[in-house]
Structure 1
Amino acid sequence: MQRCTLDVPSLGEPVETAYVEETSGNGAPIMLLHGFDSSLLEFRRLFPLLRKEGANAYAVDLIGWGFSCCKFHEKPDLQLGPQQKTDHLYAFWKGKVQRPMVLVGVSLGSAIAVQFALQHPEAVAGLVLSSPQVYVDGIGPMSSMPRVLSYLGVQVLKSVPLRNMANKMAYYDKERLATEDALRIGRLHTFLPGWTNSNIAFMRSGGYSVSKRIPELQQEVLVLWGRNDEIVECKFADNFARDLPHSRLKILEDCGHCIHLEKPEEMARALTEFVSEIELHGAHAQ
């Protein structure tokens, strides 16, 4: 993991941004975005395979989650919603990537990817949405709770019982993958200063609402879904055929929500093939 300092005007303070990169490969850059209240450690099995495949790849922690941080985290009036996360990702793209990329969002990271692609189409050559949480908007009543109740709710997010339940729901092969190590890795970033306040700020922002805008996407789109997803049901896959008739859908058998952790070899292969297709399509367009 590395850090770089990025200026993000809408945040008002420089952001110490955590990321990993592999830039010695070929092809369009692949940018990996983790899910809700997680970190780039989600890609600990996928990233080495992308490197082995000779891909150019990045994974980044967006402000408020993971290991990226800034000085204002503890301000009670902190504004840290979808727009600030989009601005942070754009700053990273301008500073590090600087050419059209294949943007890969997992779970809620897919909503982040959709919003970013709509606002900055020049930066996105293609989209990969993995177990995408994009058809359920917002975060419900937690957005309007008094701050003290929001604080208690966030502390529950950090608790071992809730994390353990989410850990088990994330996989089809629970015995092999829903381990104590996985639980610890998933909680590691929650002990950083500013984690509580950042999550309260995100919840009070109302979260992401992109479902009605999905038909506006102009990029090539690949959708990956685990047949046995217990967190975002595979039935939502039919919505993409309706909203994006030219999108491609790949269902992975015997796989739960976290394809990048449960079937990393298959996901790495799907990503590198998609990058090749994007580049071939671009060459033909010229």
Structure 2
Amino acid sequence: MSEAPPPDVAAADVPAARPSATPLPARTSLLPLWPGEALVVRGGEVFVRTTPWTGPVDGAAEDAPRERALYVHGLGGASTNWTDLAALLAVRFDGWALDLPGFGRSQPPSRGRYSIRGHVRAVVDVLEHVVAQPGKAAGRPVHLLGNSLGGLVSLFVAARRPDLVATLTLVSPAMPVYRVPPAFSRALLLLLVPGIPTLAARRMGGITPEENVRGMIRMCFGEPGRVPPERVEQAVQEMRERAQQPWAGHALTRSMRGLITSYLRVGAANAWRAARTLRPPTLVLWGARDRLVDPAMAPRLASVVPDARLEVLERVGHLAMLEAPEATARAVLGMVEEAAACREPRAAPGLATQRETLRS
């Protein structure tokens, strides 16, 4: 428990994210889901969707940056959680978004174990695949973005394989906490008891897709009433597809168990210690109305990451990439543009001085 930082860290102690002014594509109310295919990884295969690079909005693509990004969803989510954000970031990135083992259209792990370590292995395998693809950015590190469980997994990936990660974006990552809200404590602790995850999966199987989606919206969105009806229906259709998979309930409950178990780890396996070793430029992004992971964690996490900047979005909940994709995209691009400028010899000294001023 001593791995976690003190609770009295203020947001002023870390640099604020600087939103990019890069023009972004006009958003439509409902984008189609990006296509994808199965990819073999250690322990099985995962489904990966791809979002092609579009280049700048003004069409001046000749010398425009073209890099690569990988998106990792949270517990109970899927690659489709990144549809809107990936479309906006396509001005700079070719995007890949995977369904973690057992989620979305991905098969369950071959041994049926939903550990954080297993999810980390799957993400590393997908990153290596992305890096190896031919094209302008072949062989270069990838921009890694993760939400909730996917944020925790991405943090471990970046700590263990910094050679694969250009920048890291953590959207409400599921960092270890040692004081669980009273409403959740009993249910969460029961998941550690052998046999309970199976019972929980059966009980969840009795919830209709409509009830599931509306409950998720109430819990995860800062302003549930603003979710367009067509978005709700799209999510319901996706949930119906998922409900037909016999392993869906097990994937959720056993991944939750794996998440809680990971909180008990100490030493190098502890997420707070891993955060202190991160080398890539990192964006810590949170919704001020996050009901699942306390927004007070945001400045605490940013304060321990060596090269972090912080963005807290007002009136936004746990899924900023879904609820506020444009603000999220601008924060991500701002970090990426700053990191690129730091790599330019003439720009680096000024930006370095600027960063030291912000930290002082």
User: With structure 1 as the length reference, what TM-score do the two structures score?
Assistant: 0.84
Q: Which residue of 2 aligns with 1:121?
A: 162
Question: Counting helix residues as a fraction of each chain, which structure ranks higher?
Answer: 1
Question: Structure 1 282/254 Cα, relative in aligned 2: closer, same or farther at 3 Å?
Answer: same
Compute the displacement of 1:2 (Å).
1.2
CA RMSD in angstroms comes to: 2.7
The residue aligned with 2:97 is: 59
For the 8 Å contact 2:70–2:127, the answer to whether it is kept is no
Q: For 2:76 and 2:141, locate their aligned partners in 1 and report how far apart those are by CA, in whole Å.
A: 26
CA distance in 2, matches of 1:16, 1:141: 29
Q: What does the per-residue CA deviation read over 1:75-107, in whole Å, with 9 as the maximum and x for residues that have no partner?
A: xx6223111111111111122233311111112
Residue number among 51, 69, 82 corresponding to 2:116 in the alignment: 82
Question: Cα gap change, 1:110/1:157 in structure 2, threshold over 3 Å: closer, same or farther?
Answer: farther
CA apart distance, 1:113 = 0.7
1:154 aligns with 2:206: no
Instruction: Show structure 1 runs of 4+ deviating over 4 A.
Output: 137-140, 160-163
What letter corresponds to residue 217 of structure 1 in structure 2? L
Deviation per CA, 1:249-286: give whole Å up to 9, x if none.
1121222221111111111222222222222223447x
Distance 1:264-1:214 versus aligned 2 partners, 3 A rule = same
Matched residue count: 275
- With over 3 angstroms needed to count, the CA separation of the structure-2 counterparts of 1:42 and 1:134, relative to structure 1, is same
For the residue of structure 2 that corresponds to 1:80, the secondary structure is coil
Tell me, yes or no, if the aligned pair for 1:117 and 1:217 is still in contact at 8 Å: yes
Q: Give 1:245 deviation, angstroms.
A: 5.5
Corresponding position of 1:19:
49
Question: Partner of 2:318 in structure 1?
Answer: 257
* Ranges in structure 1 where 5+ consecutive residues have no aligned partner: none
Query: SS at 2:144's partner residue?
Result: strand
Q: Distance in 2 between matches of 1:186 and 1:234?
A: 29
Identify the residue that residue 249 of structure 2 maps to in structure 1: 196
The one-letter amino acid of 1:144's match is L
SS of match in other structure, 1:110: helix
Q: Helix, strand or coil for the counterpart of 1:234?
A: coil
Residues 1:243 and 2:304 aligned together? yes
1:31–1:101 CA contact under 8 A, matched in 2: yes
The amino acid that maps onto 1:19 is R
Check conservation: 2:67, 2:92, Cα contact below 8 A: no
The TM-score, its normalising length taken from structure 2, stands at: 0.68
Residue matched to 1:167: 217
Deviations 1:50-97 (A, max 9, x none): 22x24222211121222111584xxxx622311111111111112223
Is this contact kept in 1: 2:108–2:251, CA < 8 A? no
Q: Which runs of 5+ in 2 are unaligned?
A: 1-34, 56-64, 133-139, 181-186, 264-270, 349-360
Separation in 1 of the partners of 2:45 and 2:306? Answer: 38
Contact 2:213 2:236 in 1 (8 A): no
1:219-273 Cα offsets, whole Å, 9 max, x none, are 2111111222222221112212431264111121222221111111111222222
Distance of 2:36 and 2:306 partners within structure 1: 39
> Relative to 1, partners in 2 of residues 1:134 and 1:48: Cα closer, same or farther, differing over 3 Å?
same
Distance 1:5 1:174, change over 3 A: closer
Of structures 1 and 2, the larger Rg is shown by 2
